[in-house]
A and B are shown apart, each in its own frame.
Chain A
Amino acid sequence: MEYSRRHTLAMGLGGLFVTVVPIRVSADAAGLIQAFTGGADIVDGPLSISAPEIAENGNAVPVTVTCPDAKSIRILAPANPNPEVCTVHFGPLAGRHTATTRIRMAETMDVIALAEMSDGSFVQAAANVRVTIGGCGG
């Protein structure tokens, strides 16, 4: 196949689209993270998130977050129509600071957990889940 000027331009635009789309998605995630942290730096910490590697049904994906010393933990599913999932606040009688719930996932993505520690710093963790059938309807 010969490449005309028109073909070359079209491929260039296609390439641009492919590179721009993932950047836009991660920018959304960055915005959501900033909304929780208020722009504070993310440091290393003992936050763990566990979720299945492959979820056949995106309607109910079990997710566990654990972070000793956390005041609160927020779970985000950045590629969902509503990216916020829930925020857990631990009170004085919380045992190990852990919570398990089931979340909806529209497509394959990194589920993000953000913890606000008792000293005011923020910790982030993520788990990639491959979703076979999305669970957000519409």
Chain B
Amino acid sequence: MSGFDARPRVRVPRTASVDEVVLVRTLINHPMENGHRVDTDGTTVPRHIINRFTCTFNGETVIEMEIEPSLSANPFIEFEARVPESGEFAFTWVDDDGSIYEDSASITVG
């Protein structure tokens, strides 16, 4: 039903010092249909968005985000994370249709 291939992309530094605050940038392609758009046939395109985004580092929460239809297509989310040790960021995007898109990124701290 999706009709597209969601490819999440994340960017974090490869290395950092202990407790450094690093910039995390994420992007995923998704139409984010807000339920108001009318297509060329004159029918309203039903709502279909990513409604939730989470980022954890070694299992501990960095940020969680509840998303509504007013976020742009291809959601771009940038934030900062504190890294106490080497490990892995895990990212999830939850689709209205129940799909979950995942990505991860590792960082070496020391």
A: which residues have CB within 8 A of B? Answer: 59-61, 77, 80-96, 98-104, 135-138
B63 touches A138 (CB 8 A): no
Q: Give the size category of B's interface with A.
A: 20 to 34
> Which A residue's beta carbon lies closest to that of B78?
A100
- Mask: chain B, 54-83; 1 = CB below 8 Å from A; 0 = not: 001100111111111111110111111111
* 6 residue pairs from A and B, CB less than 8 Å apart: A59-B73, A82-B68, A93-B56, A93-B62, A95-B81, A137-B37
Query: Closest CB of chain A to B90's CB: distance in Å?
Result: 12
B: which residues have CB within 8 A of A? Answer: 21-22, 34-38, 44, 56-57, 60-73, 75-84
B70 touches A103 (CB 8 A): yes
Q: Once bound together, how far apart are the Cα atoms of A82 and B70, in whole Å?
A: 6
B34 touches A136 (CB 8 A): yes
A59 touches B22 (CB 8 A): no
B72 partner, pick from A60, A83, A96, beta carbons under 8 A: A60
A138 touches B37 (CB 8 A): yes
* Given contact pairs A82-B35, A88-B63, a sample of 9 additional A-B residue pairs in the complex whose CB atoms are under 8 Å apart: A77-B70, A86-B67, A86-B70, A88-B65, A94-B80, A95-B22, A100-B78, A103-B71, A135-B72
B64 touches A137 (CB 8 A): no
Chain B residues with CB below 8 A from A98, complex form: 79-80
Query: Closest CB of chain B to A95's CB: distance in Å?
Result: 3
Query: Closest CB of chain A to B36's CB: distance in Å?
Result: 4
Q: Once bound together, how far apart are the Cα atoms of A82 and B33, in whole Å?
A: 12
Known contacts A92-B60, A95-B81: A102-B72 contact under CB 8 Å: yes
